[in-house]
Homo-oligomer: A and B are copies of this chain.
Amino acid sequence: MAGNTFGKIFTVSTFGESHGIALGGVVDGCPPGLELTEEDLQVDLDRRKPGTSRYTTARREDDEVQILSGVFEGKTTGTSIGLLIKNKDQRSQDYSNIANRFRPGHADYTYQQKYGLRDYRGGGRSSARETAIRVAAGGIAKKYLEQVHGIKIHGFLSQLGPVVIDTVDYSLINENPFFCPDASKLDALDEYMRELKKSGDSIGAKVSVVATNMPVGLGEPVFDRLDADIAGAMMGINAVKGVEVGDGFDVVTQKGSEHRDTLTPDGFTSNHSGGVLGGISTGQDLVVHMALKPTSSISVPGETIDTDGNAIEIVTKGRHDPCVGIRAVPIAEAMLALVLMDHCLRHRAQNEAVQCTTPMIPGSAK
């Protein structure tokens, strides 16, 4: 049972290799009557696109999405939505040297072992290129969530190597190439990345996503809790190695009297939980963090083996992001949107009166 479908009620099934003919997908379960155009989806695709700044890879992917079905006279019809992004820039020669070797830190070895063969061009299906379709599908969810429930999703870089952000101003996120919400860190980021590029190495990052104006009631215990599904979605993004909700790993040293968020008639007075209790949204801001590893495609030489098992040296050529974490911001937003959309529909399915829009107390504390 292959795993190319995401979601249970609002589902996204995707296909496509890095250097194949096209990427595409089927979005099923979108409610009818939602106004939707290709431009709606292109916004985030352009944010994800490489080549937008000198800090990301210079490849031109030109992710132009087409809606092939499911929209009629500008509105969704309730039938499945076909999405297509044609691949344009397919310089296969850049990757021909990896046909018979396993890049360390990449999925070359595991794909070869699992399937017995692999499309080695640019990493094939294991390339982060496939996330373009996730971003397109997430765009549909984002529009729905905002229009119907008023939910907004804000992704941002919260740490890049040693540079840690101190403040969060959502209005800054799209004003700089780092998706950084803290103006005071832009120079430090710029300088760090320039040095890094010179060294030919790469760096890890921490990315955060916050959903504001959340309804209370989303999440399906005991297994399909909202936080469980979010953790699965985020860990399923290329390069992610850790996921936190709310205080995350800080809770290890917290006491109960410190961690529990007090309820008052005016709302919660704190948000250690990150907006989820018992796997169900509280109406507070939903706060998620994730750790992204440094890309292994670097020009620093390394050792590995070839497909015959012989030890060889490897230097990854080609154009690669020195920090893949940056471009992960719109991807993380898209995945959170897909999870929330799925859970909105799941909640509605079982619960007559959609309590999720009228919380008993305001979801105050962020």
Question: Which one of A39-47, A50-58, A251-259 contacts B?
Answer: A251-259
The answer to whether B246 and A244 have CB atoms under 8 Å apart is: no
Q: How far is the CA of A254 from the CA of B278 in the complex (A)?
A: 34
Which single residue of chain B is at the shortest CB-CB distance from A239?
Answer: B251
The answer to whether B291 and A251 have CB atoms under 8 Å apart is: yes
The answer to whether A82 and B351 have CB atoms under 8 Å apart is: no
A87-136: which residues lie under 8 A (CB-CB) from chain B?
102, 104-107, 109-119, 124-126, 130
The answer to whether A79 and B349 have CB atoms under 8 Å apart is: no
The answer to whether B80 and A15 have CB atoms under 8 Å apart is: yes
Q: Does A168 touch B at the CB level, under 8 Å?
A: no
Interface centre among A25, A33, A255 (most CB of B within 10 A): A255
The answer to whether A232 and B228 have CB atoms under 8 Å apart is: yes
Which single residue of chain B is at the shortest CB-CB distance from A322?
Answer: B256
If A22-B82, A231-B231, A241-B246 touch, whether A28 touches B2 (CB-CB below 8 Å) is: yes
Task: From the candidates B29, B107, B273, name the one contacting A277 in the complex (CB within 8 A).
Answer: B107
Count of chain copies: 4
The answer to whether B302 and A201 have CB atoms under 8 Å apart is: no
Q: How far is the CA of A113 from the CA of B214 in the complex (A)?
A: 13
Q: Does A333 touch B at the CB level, under 8 Å?
A: no
Residues on B with beta carbons closer than 8 Å to the beta carbon of A311:
264-265
Which single residue of chain B is at the shortest CB-CB distance from A296?
Answer: B260
The answer to whether B256 and A248 have CB atoms under 8 Å apart is: no
If A9-B349, A223-B5 touch, whether A110 touches B281 (CB-CB below 8 Å) is: yes
Q: How far is the CA of A17 from the CA of B78 in the complex (A)?
A: 12
The answer to whether B26 and A278 have CB atoms under 8 Å apart is: no
Closest CB-CB distance, A307 to chain B, in whole Å?
9
Residues on B with beta carbons closer than 8 Å to the beta carbon of A66:
21
Closest CB-CB distance, A210 to chain B, in whole Å?
16
Q: A16-B68, A113-B216 are in contact. List 20 more A-B contacts (CB 8 A).
A: A1-B9, A4-B79, A13-B28, A15-B69, A17-B79, A21-B66, A25-B26, A31-B352, A78-B116, A104-B262, A107-B279, A161-B255, A201-B257, A203-B255, A227-B235, A228-B235, A230-B235, A231-B236, A241-B249, A254-B294
14 pairs, CB–CB < 8 Å, chain A vs chain B: A3-B346, A5-B5, A77-B119, A79-B221, A84-B84, A104-B261, A110-B278, A110-B280, A110-B282, A113-B217, A203-B256, A263-B303, A265-B310, A348-B348
